[in-house]
Amino acid sequence: MATPVAAQVTAVRSPSQTGDIIARLVTLVFAGCILLLAGLVVLELWQGSAPARSHLGWNFLVSSDWNPVTDQYGALPFLYGTVVTAFVALLISVPLGLGAAIFLSELAPAGISSGLTFLVELLAAVPSVIYGLMALFTIVPLMREYVGPFLNATLGFLPFFQGRSYGVGYLPAALVLSIMTFPFIISVSREALLAVPREQREASLALGATQWETTWKVVVPYAKLGILGSVFLGLARALGETMAVTMVIGNAADIHVSLLAPGATIAAVIANEFTEASGKIYSAALIELGLVLFCLTIVINGFARLMIVATTRKGSKRS
Amino acid sequence: MKPRLVWRKTVNAVMLSLTAVCTVITVAALFVILGYLLYNGSKSLDWNFFVKLPLSPGELGGGMANAIVGSVQIVGLAALIGLPVGFLAGVYLSEFEDKAFASVVRYVADLLNGVPSIVVGIVAWALVVVPMRQFTALAGAIALAVMLIPIVTRQTEQFLREVPNSLREGALALGASKWRMIATVAVPAGSKGIVTGMILGVARIAGESAPLLFTSLGNQFWGGLTQPTAALPVMIYQRAMSPYDDWHRQAWAAGLVLIALVLIANVAARLVLARGVSVPRG
């Protein structure tokens, strides 16, 4: 950490002190730009959604009736779709991601671990429209032809897997999101696990615990805040993800219990309808959806960062 | 062995192999994606793709020359705006720390980083498209710049912080003023990391389509700064969602080009960094 060099130097008077002041001011202005940008984001979302907020009030959040023709806007189907797809995605990606993170931090030799981590992090660099393209031409036909009927036949007694599969729907969207979230879960959890002091492992092994028992009962609990932080980070990404979801969710403003049915998320409906939104209230309603999404991700990201900061500090302090 | 011990050892073996399976699955996902893209994309990629304009649906052939040029324009302009702003803000955070203000900026930069790209699109639409009454490449570039700035800021700050303080103190002890120390010692010492961060940041915004959907929109013909302009990622989305087979073919080709660019940027960034941060860490 850069301890304030400034403090030690201010006493020294140099001829080019004006240069320092200018440099400080210039960089300060650009740092201020970031605050300005954030302010603009909030301001534009707030002002842009004003007509919808005054016209619809809190009803916006609890009504499930989305009908631009009659100027009825209820966000519930999109809130539902956003939460359900993100939740199912994490159900898949958390166990997978945590498993891989454990392997990479506890078992794999350092060289292999960093190589594999690089590959996993490349997954995070793949543009989301590419995930959408892949999913549209692989997962969607597979869902329609095989997975949907199979789920109907085997787990059809559960309400989640009833009804015809059209290929597009909540489940394929959740599958894509799970692939998109696990790079975050793996790389952040791995770092949290690596920050666990060696003595913790040695003490547990010395008491006769197997390696798995050590990992599961000592190392993972020690790193749990960081792991939780990685899950929240993945959740924030899943909630805000647009393109891949838009391409496979089916874009229907309905609420279905069945995961095989088509639905929509907040990001997907904005992507789909924004350019066509004629009428003040229609586009304001879409901007208000953006505002809701903004608030959701800000809160979840905030939590994630606090948790990650808490564990990495704890680890480095004791090691 | 006691049955209890056998059980524990079995659990140990099973769970540890399961973690290996998890790793294989996640890494395999990358190769499946790359392989499938390569398979479908290489079938559809030809010279026309790079030099011809798109044709209307039903006509076979055509390319995406306009989208390639459009992407370069939009991303280039975004980099022109975003890189200097992000860099200077990063320098401020690392070198001129005023505790309270800097930590507010840092936190806000992280929050901006987490704003969903579609929301950034809405903001750029309200800020640029509405006053200009026109979808423009400029609006798209501004949307992407908004995403780029916090990334570059945090990366610059992080790598400047890895420059050892002894270097700074050495320069100052020799009588250099603070800004000369920053310009000739701190920034050059951290330059590899900073460049890496910039490459990765630009690669990330180059693949974004959500912020462009209603800022630069798209165009069948050549765009321009003050006109609707096609971009590669948006084109992939539109082509993939269309009902025409020939357009799907083009979506795959565009996907292959895009992923090749992103991967090259990522590997290049790695190489820049692997040549060694030019100072020993300490």
Condensed to tens digits (0 to 9), the pLDDT of residues B171-201 reads 999 988 888 999 999 999 999 999 999 999 9
User: Sign of the CA dihedral B187, B189, B192, B193?
Assistant: negative
Residue A317 binned pLDDT confidence (cut-offs 50, 70, 90): very low
Q: How far A181 CA lies from chain B's nearest CA (Å)? A: 11
User: Which long-range contacts link A309-313 to residues 24+ away (Cβ below 8 Å)?
Assistant: A310/A225, A310/A226, A310/A229, A311/A192, A311/A195, A311/A223, A311/A224, A311/A225, A311/A226, A311/A229, A312/A191, A312/A192, A312/A195, A312/A226
Q: What is the pLDDT of residue A316?
A: 45
Position A47 pLDDT exceeds 50: yes
Q: Find the CB nearest B178 among A20, A97, A104.
A: A20
Q: Which of A130-144, A156-170, A182-196 is least confident?
A: A156-170
Q: Which residues of B fall within a CB distance of 8 Å from A41?
A: 112, 115, 119-120, 123, 146
Residue A5 binned pLDDT confidence (cut-offs 50, 70, 90): low
Q: What integer is the mean pLDDT of B75-88? A: 96
Q: Which residues of B fall within a CB distance of 8 Å from A236?
A: 114
Instruction: Inform me whether the C-beta atom of residue B104 falls under 8 Å from chain A C-beta atoms.
Output: yes
Helix axes of B99-114 and B65-95: crossing angle, nearest 10 degrees:
160
Q: What integer is the mean pLDDT of A237-256? A: 92
Q: What is the pLDDT of residue A13?
A: 52
Taking alpha carbons only, the member of A86, A139, A187 closest to residue B32 is A139
Position A10 pLDDT exceeds 70: no
Q: What is the pLDDT of residue A277?
A: 83
**How many Å apart are CA A99 and CA B15, to the nearest integer?**
9
Q: What integer is the mean pLDDT of B83-101? A: 89
Instruction: Inform me whether the C-beta atom of residue B12 falls under 8 Å from chain A C-beta atoms.
Output: yes
Written as six digits, the tokens of A97 are 């991601």
Report CB contact under 8 Å: B240, A8.
no
Q: Which residues of B fall within a CB distance of 8 Å from A25?
A: none
Q: What integer is the mean pLDDT of A52-68? A: 88
Residue A280 binned pLDDT confidence (cut-offs 50, 70, 90): confident
Q: Which residues of A fall within a CB distance of 8 Å from B23?
A: 99-100, 103-104, 108, 116
Q: Which residues are CB-neighbours of A176 under 8 A, at least 6 positions away?
A: A89, A131, A132, A135, A139, A244, A245, A248
**How many Å apart are CA A149 and CA A166, to the nearest integer?**
10
Q: What integer is the mean pLDDT of A259-286? A: 91
What class, spelled out in words, does domain A52-318 have in CATH? mainly alpha
A169: left (phi over 0), alpha (psi -120 to 50) or beta: left
Report CB contact under 8 Å: A294, B119.
yes
For residue B277, give the DSSP letter.
-
Q: What is the pLDDT of residue A209?
A: 93
Q: Which residues of B fall within a CB distance of 8 Å from A2?
A: 94-95, 97, 160-161, 165, 168
Q: What integer is the mean pLDDT of A146-151? A: 88
Report CB contact under 8 Å: B126, A26.
no
Instruction: Inform me whether the C-beta atom of residue B145 falls under 8 Å from chain A C-beta atoms.
Output: no
CB A265 within 8 A of CB A276: no
Instruction: Inform me whether the C-beta atom of residue B103 falls under 8 Å from chain A C-beta atoms.
Output: no
Q: How far B52 CA lies from chain A's nearest CA (Å)? A: 22
Q: Find the CB nearest B237 among A9, A241, A243.
A: A243
Q: Find the CB nearest A41 among B104, B123, B178.
A: B123
What class, spelled out in words, does domain B49-54+61-274 have in CATH? mainly alpha
Mean pLDDT of chain A: 88
- Looking at the DSSP bridge assignments, the partners of residue A250 are A263
Half-sphere exposure of B161 (CA within 13 A, CB side): 15
Q: Which residues are CB-neighbours of B134 under 8 A, at least 6 positions away?
A: B226, B227, B228
Domain ranges of chain B: 49-54+61-274
The ipTM estimated for the assembled molecules is 0.90
Q: What is the pLDDT of residue B244?
A: 87
Q: Find the CB nearest A27 among B27, B30, B89.
A: B89
Report CB contact under 8 Å: B89, A99.
no
Q: What is the pLDDT of residues A15-42, one digit of tens each?
A: 567 888 888 899 999 999 999 999 999 9
Residue B281 binned pLDDT confidence (cut-offs 50, 70, 90): very low
Q: What is the pLDDT of residue B48?
A: 85
Q: What is the pLDDT of residue B187?
A: 93
Helix axes of B3-44 and A110-125: crossing angle, nearest 10 degrees:
50
Q: Which residues of A fall within a CB distance of 8 Å from B160?
A: 2
Q: Which residues of B fall within a CB distance of 8 Å from A123?
A: 26, 29-30, 33
Q: What is the pLDDT of residues B24-44, one digit of tens each?
A: 999 999 999 999 999 999 988
Chain B: residue whose CA lies nearest to A6: B96
Position B14 pLDDT exceeds 50: yes
Q: What is the pLDDT of residue A313?
A: 62
Q: What is the pLDDT of residues B133-167, one digit of tens each?
A: 999 999 999 999 999 999 999 999 999 999 999 99
Position B19 pLDDT exceeds 60: yes
**How many Å apart are CA A52 and CA A41, to the nearest integer?**
18
The more confidently predicted of residues B97 and B7 is B7
Measured in degrees and rounded to the nearest 5, phi and psi for residue A237 equal -65, -45
Report CB contact under 8 Å: A128, B85.
no
Give the angle subtended at the CA of A106 by the CAs of A102 and A112, to the nearest 5°: 95
User: Sign of the CA dihedral B57, B61, B66, B69?
Assistant: positive
Which stretch, A56-60, A111-115, B148-152, has highest mean pLDDT?
Answer: B148-152
Q: Find the CB nearest A3 among B22, B165, B203.
A: B165
Q: How far B75 CA lies from chain A's nearest CA (Å)? A: 14
CB A19 within 8 A of CB B179: yes
The more confidently predicted of residues B236 and B48 is B236
How would you label A106-123 residue by residue, b for 16+ Cβ within 10 Å and e otherwise? bbbeeeebeebbebbebb
**How many Å apart are CA B151 and CA B196, to the nearest integer?**
12
Q: What is the pLDDT of residue A4?
A: 52
Q: Which residues are CB-neighbours of A180 under 8 A, at least 6 positions away?
A: A89, A123, A124, A128, A131, A237, A238, A241, A244
Q: What is the pLDDT of residues A122-148, one digit of tens each?
A: 998 999 999 999 999 999 999 988 888
